[in-house]
Amino acid sequence: MEFLYGLRVPSWVVVTVSSIVSVYIFSTWPYSLFKSLKIPGPKPIPFFGNLLTLTKQGFHTVHQNWTRQYGKVVGFYEGRHPCMLVSETSMIREILVKNFNSFRNRRNVQIAGYPMDSGILQQRDDQWKNTRHILTPAFSSSKLKKMVGLIQDCGDILTNKSQELVKKGDDEIELYSHFSAYTMDVITSTAFGVKIDAYDKNDPFIKNAKAFTTLNFAGLLFMTYFLVPGLLPFLLALKITVVPKAPLDFFIQVIDGAIAAKKESHNPRFDLLQAMLNASEDSDPIEDDGLMSSLEVKSTNKKGLTNGEILAHSVTFFLAGHETTATTMTFLAYELALHPDIQNKATEEIDRVLGNKPCDYENIQELVYLDMCLSETLRLYPPATRLERTASVDVTLDDVKIPAETIVVIPVYTIHRDPAIYDNPDDFIPERFSPEKKAKLGAYHYMPFGLGPRSCIGMRMAVLEIKLGIARLLQKFKFSTCEKTMIPLKFRNSTLLQIDGDVVLKFIER
């Protein structure tokens, strides 16, 4: 190829340079957005944006650092996706509540395949609204009162298993797996009418639940989403997803069994699964070779939940319904062990209110100090360190323009540990959630389960489950630190607040 003054440049050089320039432009063209909007933030690098900083240092740590450095509105990029970190109270109120319709949806990440991409966490707009309307009654106060007996049974099993370990001399207990068995027991029995041996590590249910958390091709798919999302449909067409097939098939079979049991019952108990079946398009099973779910049927009725949605919601509640709850119980027991004076106060209240009686829906409400301890635990260790919403249209809040498709990130962990809101924010002080002080706390300064119409649907169920389980244990045991106790806690670099290692406490019989 001949240029000015007769200079000839080989075609391969032109193609190579053009390709490099094109790739660079493609990888960086979104990065002028926040500069043009005069929104401060860290400098992105091509393709990755600020993603590498987040994954290397941990989302909750980085959000704290950026808020301190740049202020309450920060522009950053996850791959080529523009994200806005917002911790300004007035803007949070608009995003989560007052202007909810402009921020109704979460990030759209379709990488799980059928049926999981139809789950409530991924649903959008009217589809999500319909599901929320259908599922909400399963978590009402009247339904929770009916579930208490089942949760009590699970609490008794937790206590008995703890006593067995202590009597054998295995009194130094790894908390997460111990509490995870309890929360899995609760969700399976209360929501689906399924009884398992959650404390048997060889139980097929437990083995498949653990296998489900091993994400196939997770690195490939997540990086594809952040860097070249246009390739995702091709990967999904090849059935490359983050959901391993064998555990998914197992859970579908479990759900089918629960559905069959309900159909054989003349008076099936109303629970989460029944709520979905009542609203399904067609819940009649079909004859097959045993490999197809009874919900994979054609239907002409366009109202209610689709078959894929029922499957996705069921598996989601099976898994998500126990993991964060078990983690919160771990944090609560850990803090009580580190603060014997607080634990003694909680135990004295339990002895006064309950004595040796089991918890029920009414007397659990009287454990005010235990509720304060749980609230403080959720402040220090929110299950999700951040909330995400996507702007559906261009919106201007407090003179800050938020372009359509921008992912708004609300840093819950950062807000919960803001010294301008909480004195000594890193200390465990349940008294800051006394009824008097809680009434004065800003509504948008505490949001462990989110706020607004898209807050956690299972919040009340989780709180009831945690308080009942911990109260039952404190009737029989004292939590104490030991040589194996991790002090201080170390966390994984994750979007969730996950402990990097085991948390071990000594259970001492009272």
Using the CB atoms, write b or e for 437-453: b if 16+ within 10 Å.
eeeeeeebebbbbbbbe
Contact call for residues 67 and 74 (beta carbons, < 8 A): yes
Exposed, middle or buried, 406 (CB in 10 Å: 0-12/13-18/19+)? buried
Contact call for residues 198 and 325 (beta carbons, < 8 A): no
Q: What angle do CA 107, 109, 112 make, to 5 degrees?
A: 145
- Single-letter residue type at 72: K
Side-by-side strand order, sheet with 73-78:
73-78, 81-86, 407-410, 387-390
Residues forming beta bridges with residue 84, ordered by sequence position = 75, 408
Give me the DSSP letters along 40-76.
--PPPBTTTBTHHHHHHH-HHHHHHHHHHHH-SEEEE
Of the candidates 326, 330, 346, 327, the one whose C-alpha atom is nearest the C-alpha of residue 505 is 330
- Three-state SS at 212: helix
| Residue 110: both structure tokens together | 């379709």
- Single-letter residue type at 241: T
- Single-letter residue type at 395: V
92/88 Cα distance (integer angstroms): 6
**Other Cβ atoms closer than 10 A to 352:** 10
Residues for the chain: how many in total?
A: 510
Residues forming beta bridges with residue 305, ordered by sequence position = 280
Query: Is 154 marked as binding a ligand?
Result: no
Q: Which residues are annotated as a binding site?
A: 456
Q: Which residues are annotated as a binding site for heme?
A: 456
